[in-house]
Structure 1
Amino acid sequence: MSKFTNLIQNSEVPVLVDFYADWCQPCHMIAPTIRSIKNKMGDQLKIVKVNADNNQKAMLKYHVKSIPTLILFHKGKILWRNAGVIPEVELLKVINQYI
């Protein structure tokens, strides 16, 4: 089992996965939101950034067709997903439903 799979299946707290690419402008736009949420949530949430160019298997497995795509997992189950940029206040509302 890969480290990534182990994390999303066995984490005691929800895991927010950010599928991104270095060349993706919207990915750069959402990066400050992701950092802010990490600071606000602390140990209540894990955040994992997955480079889409280097992780094609994960992209296929989770049907990621565009980036940025955010997927919230808990115990291996997808709780929520969003493709594109989302305002921080909206993302916090979603996360707080599962914390």
Structure 2
Amino acid sequence: MAENLSGSQGTNAARIRNLLIAIAAIALGVAISFGFHTQASSVSLEAQAEQSTPLEVALTNGKPTLTEFYANWCTTCQAMAKDLAQLKQNYADSINFVMLNVDNSKWLPEILRYRVDGIPHFVFLNRQGEAVAQTIGEQPLSVMEANLDALVANSELPYAYSTGQTSTFNAPVNAANSSQDDPRSHGTQVKQ
């Protein structure tokens, strides 16, 4: 009889262990599924950049433009990605959305022209392609909407030149190799 009791306890222990393994497997499956869902529904900066209006088109098509200087590694840019995707959807017919990656040296002239030293850096351009305002750093959705509404109406932007949380960025400028004057030099030349 002692052997039956001992065997019964072993069977119960095995059942409990198997039940715990099954519960852990289900929990892990749910967590993985949720992780894939969250990742799939998040807004990618790269995908937004691919869908953005090319700068050359935006400067010539007669629509006002919001230009965003960003980087994929910029946590503040990532934090604003969802709001910007919503703005792009809401204002797609009336505003160009241009995204310029600061890690791409192609955009160095624009980085220097608009004095980008923190990202995200937003430049608001009127219908003629002229800069009318800039904001730097994370901006609330309501601030961006108010600025875009004013841009479409060709009015003064209510939140021009505002600054929020940024990611630091230093333009890759080497005075010895640059054929252009750095606008930050205020006309001074570096003698070699």
Normalising by the residue count of structure 1, what TM-score does the alignment of the two structures yield? 0.88
Alignment partner of 1:15 is 2:68: no
- 1:10 is paired with a residue whose SS is coil
Aligned partners of 2:65 and 2:129 also within 8 Å: no
Q: Distance in 2 between matches of 1:31 and 1:20?
A: 10
Query: What is the deviation of 1:8?
Result: 4.3
Equivalent in 131, 144, 147 of residue 94 of structure 1: 147
Cα root mean square deviation, aligned: 1.4
Alignment pair present for 1:62 and 2:114: yes
Partner of 1:81: 134
Partner of 2:88: 38
1:27-80 deviation line (CA, Å, top 9, x unaligned): 101111111001111210110110001022221121111110011112121122
Is the partner of 2:138 in helix, strand or coil? coil
Structure 2 unmatched ranges of 5 or more: 1-53, 153-192
Report whether the alignment pairs 1:25 with 2:75.
Answer: yes
Could you say which structure has the greater relative contact order, defined with CA pairs below 8 angstroms and 6 or more residues apart? 1
Q: Percent identity?
A: 24
- Match of 1:43, SS? coil
Question: How many residues are aligned here?
Answer: 96
> 1 CA distance for matches of 2:116 and 2:58?
16
Whichever residue aligns with residue 89 of structure 1, its letter is S
Matched AA of 1:87 = P
2:170 maps to none
In 1, distance between residues paired with 2:68 and 2:141?
Answer: 14
Who wins on radius of gyration, i.e. which is larger? Answer: 2
Q: Distance in 1 between matches of 2:74 and 2:89?
A: 23
